[in-house]
Structure 1
Amino acid sequence: MVTSLHEVIARLGDSGLRLLKAIPRGPDQLNLEIQDSSRGVLTGQWHRDPARSGAVAADVEATCGAGAAWTLDHSGIVLLEPGADPRLPALRTVLRRPGAQLVAHRLERRAVVREAHGDYTKVMPPELAGRVASALFRVRIPSIAVPRLTDLDVDLGTVTTAPLPGRTFHAELGDHSVTDEDVALASKSVGAAVRELHQLTPSAALPLHDVEAELRVCRRWLTAASDHGLIPEDRWRGGLERAGALLERDSAQVVTVHRDLHEKQVMILRGQPVGLLDLDLLGPGDPALDVGNLLAHFELRALHARSRPDRPWVARAAFLEGYAPGPRLMTRAAGYVLSTRLRLAAVYAFRDAPADLIEDLLNPAKDRGAVP
């Protein structure tokens, strides 16, 4: 019987599968996103009780058809065919389109499909489709490009957009043919664009994502990592308290924030506006949240060493030059850098990530990004 994430990874590997990410759904369940070299992206679940995985397989087959789910022996792992998801019934319909390719799938939450003509279709619970689509119309700033809506079906829960030109800032950082000067220019423009985003009047119709909400998300991930035996609680509790103390020093300004800003959400094309992807969480919040989240991701890339070790720091300095934050915002950003690092430690603990990366994320004093 499989009893831990590490055993889940090993059991999948024995079947020629690679875990992309695991999402905790309580101490006894994980939702899985898996890469299969022959079938592409699969989803699945692990249950501590193997009988539960058998029941899930039966339920999925009853909804999505025979053969849509199967279990791996008595491991507690149930796997779903590409597109099988009882909560996202439109996904299989979208995948039947000629040339459609499943790019990502978070079971019961969301999937992304690349259409044959290049557009991307997000499939989600129908009640979310209208909000996701409307976010695309809230950002009307000359220095920012957002995906153009090409199709919307609220009843099915599908939102289709045209791709943005250019490539992700993540790719720019990792490209050795791109000079530090070009990286700095791009990052400075990102800083200026994010500052303009934060000038937009926040929508009163959307819920405020305040400090308590952000710390709650972070605590949920860290608690799950402890529940699954991945990170001891005494390794993160003090850091989370320090983050909370930094964020409670003064009240936050409320602006329109992206809420998931990192370098994979930013598109760069020389001479063109900065592109922003995945505006699904756009809403009222603290501007320091976006700043701190992006700074923490620069640190993550430095720890990953996917580019020259100093490249993310070049980007970091230029971003701050472009955004030009004041001292109060930077104090709060320091709190969000810390909370984001802790959350990322938990997120990567649920992936097949190197142990030293998790350790470095838990120890901000180990690298030069500890002080904004």
Structure 2
Amino acid sequence: MPTDDDGAELLTGAQIGGLLEAAVQHAGGRLVAWELDHVDAQPHRSTTATYAAKVVWPHGERHELLGVSARAQGPTDADARAEIFADGDREVAVWLYPNDPELPGLTRAAYAESMAAILSDYRVVERRLTAPELTLDMMTYRPRRRAVVRDRVAGGATFYTKVLRESAVGPVARRHRLLQEAGVPAPPVLARTPDHLLVMGALPGAALAQALFQPGRPCTAEQLIGVLDAMPTSVAGLERRPPWTDALEHYSAMIAAALPQASSTLDWIGKEVRAGLSGLPQGTEPTHGDFHEGQVHVAGGKVVGILDIDTIGPGRRADDLACLIAHMSTISGMNASQAAGVHALLRAWVPVFDERVDPIELRLRAAAVIVSLATGPYRVQAPTWVSETLAMIDAAGALVRQVA
């Protein structure tokens, strides 16, 4: 992704190898091999990347994850919690997982011994746990943003630990409490730690993302709308999260920097979306903010829970339904039978969504969400990221053409 002010060229090029070697040597190891693992680029602002590395330490060889951040305006106060290295005139922050400079709780959430102590000390479990009784699985890690770890107790319950920035933990905890008190099936917060961890109970059922591929209808469109409409009106009084359409130019710029051949199509999509949504108010309905098949739990053909409610706030119902359509329209890795099943669900659900919100708005907003998702294959360094990205842009264009 060619640029220089935000450090993207440095962090995604071969020249980063020397800096990684210096950082590992400074930590007391020797870098044997490395490869780019994940990229989060904010054009003309900053770039954060992680690298899967093989390192020889005095105690033996280990696979490690290294993180590096570069900023157009130079290191921040948070960067100072990592190690600062210079490459020419540029200074970058480097850390070794789990010592993320903005997620201090990750250093405890990543290890069974410390998580067993947390679950015991906060009485999340009824007896004192030992490390061998706990299995940890990293579900999500967005460097310097958030992480989610699954904590499975041998012969017992499963919990999820959300690792957050200091500024986020309070608002997220309040949102969970708000929905719980209103009877909306969001996970209960069972513990909150000083290093910004939230331990939550598991939802019943299975994620819609899994149920999509099981026999029978996982739920109805009416139930999906219903769980959103069940959110209390007080949600509309929370801080507003900008809709995905507000970031359309930002994500288009990210893609165009990597794939200049897509620029004209992205420009056309942006023009049509802006024109089609012009004049619409921001909306005051309680909304989820990031509603998709990974956030919904179902059982017995019904919706039984919603996840990741960090983003709830005022907005337009079309944003939530468009987000679901966009995600389901771009599921990768399906075989022909699975794809046919997902498309059949969309054909059944979208007409119901069209009765709840304006059909034109729904499609234009879904197209904007797809553009945001099209940054994903590059960000996670998928081997086929070019073809996957172009296919997503085509899918966004197809939705726009339905209403243009």
What TM-score do the two structures reach when normalised by structure 2?
0.70
Bigger mean CA deviation after superposition, 265-274 or 309-318:
265-274
Q: Aligned residue for 1:111?
A: 147
| Alignment-derived partner of residue 130 in structure 1 | 170
Give CA-to-partner distance per residue, 1:53-79, whole Å, 9 cap, x none.
9xx9985259xxxxxxx999xxx9976
Structure 1 counterpart of 2:381: 352
Q: What are the ranges of 5 or more consecutive residues in structure 1 without an aligned counterpart?
A: 63-69
Task: State how 1:148-187 maps to structure 2 within 5 Å.
Answer: 148-153=188-193, 155-173=194-212, 175=213, 178-179=214-215, 182=216, 185-187=217-219
Measured after TM superposition, the shift of residue 199 of structure 1 is: 4.7
Residues 282-327 of structure 1, C-alpha deviation per residue, up to 9 Å, x if partnerless?
11111000111111111102x6535633222112133336x54427
Q: 2:33 corresponds to which residue?
A: 15
Secondary structure at the residue paired with 1:236?
A: helix
State the 1:44 CA deviation: 1.2
- In 2, the alpha carbon distance for the partners of 1:130 and 1:81 equals 27
| Cα separation, 2, equivalents of 1:129 and 1:365 | 34
> Is 2:206–2:298's contact at 8 Å kept on the other side of the alignment?
yes
1:4 Cα offset (Å)? 6.7
How far off is 1:187 after superposition? 3.9
Give the letter for the 2:169 counterpart. A
Match of 1:239 in 2: 269
> CA 1:123–1:136 in structure 2 vs 1: closer, same or farther (change >3 Å)?
same
Indicate yes or no: 2:156 matched with 1:120: no
Decide whether aligned partners of structure 1 residues 110 and 339 sit closer, same or farther in structure 2, where only a CA change above 3 A counts.
Answer: same
SS in 1 for 2:297: strand
The amino acid that maps onto 1:95 is A
CA RMSD between the two structures: 4.2
- Cα deviation for residue 333 of structure 1 reads 0.7
How far 1:260 sits from its partner (Å)? 0.8
1:343 equivalent in alignment to 2:358 = no
Amino acid at match of 1:125: R
Look up the SS of the partner of 1:114 in the other structure.
Answer: strand
Q: Which of 58, 61, 65 is residue 42 of structure 1 equivalent to?
A: 65
Among candidates 292, 297, 311, match of residue 281 of structure 1? 311
| Contact persistence 1:43–1:105 (CA under 8 A) | no
Larger radius of gyration: 2
Counterpart of 2:107 in structure 1 is: 92
For residues 147-226 of structure 1, the aligned pairs below 5 Å read 147-153=187-193, 155-173=194-212, 175=213, 178-179=214-215, 182=216, 185-188=217-220, 191-200=222-231, 201-209=233-241, 213-226=243-256
One-letter identity of the residue aligned with 1:168: A
Q: What displacement does 1:262 show?
A: 1.4
* 1:46 Cα deviation after fit: 5.8
Secondary structure, counterpart of 1:363 in structure 2: helix
> In the comparison of the two structures, how many residue pairs are matched?
348
Q: 1:3 aligns with which of 9, 18, 23?
A: 9
Cα distance 1:230–1:349, how it changes in 2: closer, same or farther (>3 A)? farther
Deviation digits for residues 104-138 of structure 1 (CA, Å, limit 9, x no counterpart): 32222212223353311112122321211122233
Secondary structure at the counterpart of residue 234 of structure 1: helix
Percent identical among aligned pairs is 19
CA distance in 1, matches of 2:199, 2:15: 33
Residues 201-255 of structure 1: per-residue CA shift (max 9 Å, x gap):
1435422345xx5333222222233345666543312211211222226446421
Query: Using a 3 Å threshold, how does the CA distance of structure 1 residues 365 and 231 change in structure 2: closer, same or farther?
Result: same
**Cα distance, 1:279 vs. partner?**
0.5
| One of 359, 379, 383 as aligned partner of 1:330 | 359
Structure of higher RCO (CA pairs closer than 8 Å, 6+ residues apart): 1
Q: Which residue of 1 aligns with 2:345?
A: 315
Secondary structure of the structure 2 residue equivalent to 1:192: helix
Alignment partners' CA distance in 2, 1:224 and 1:132: 28
- CA distance 1:102–1:83, shift in 2 (3 Å): farther
Deviation at 1:82, TM superposition (A): 2.4
- Three-state SS of the structure 2 residue aligned to 1:15 is strand
Aligned counterparts of 1:275 and 1:202: Cα–Cα separation in 2: 19
Alpha carbons 2:244, 2:372 under 8 Å: kept: no
Compared CA separation, residues 261 and 33, structure 1 to 2 (3 A) = farther
The answer on 1:258 being equivalent to 2:288 is yes
Q: CA deviation at 1:340?
A: 1.0
Counterparts of 1:71 and 1:113, CA distance in 2: 33
2:278 match: 248
Q: Deviations over 1:147-180 (max 9, x none)?
A: 1221123x4222110122333222233x4xx23x
Matches of 2:33 and 2:147, distance apart in 1:
24
**Structure holding more strand per residue:** 2
Q: Is residue 110–residue 149 contact of structure 2 (8 Å, CA) maintained in 1?
A: yes
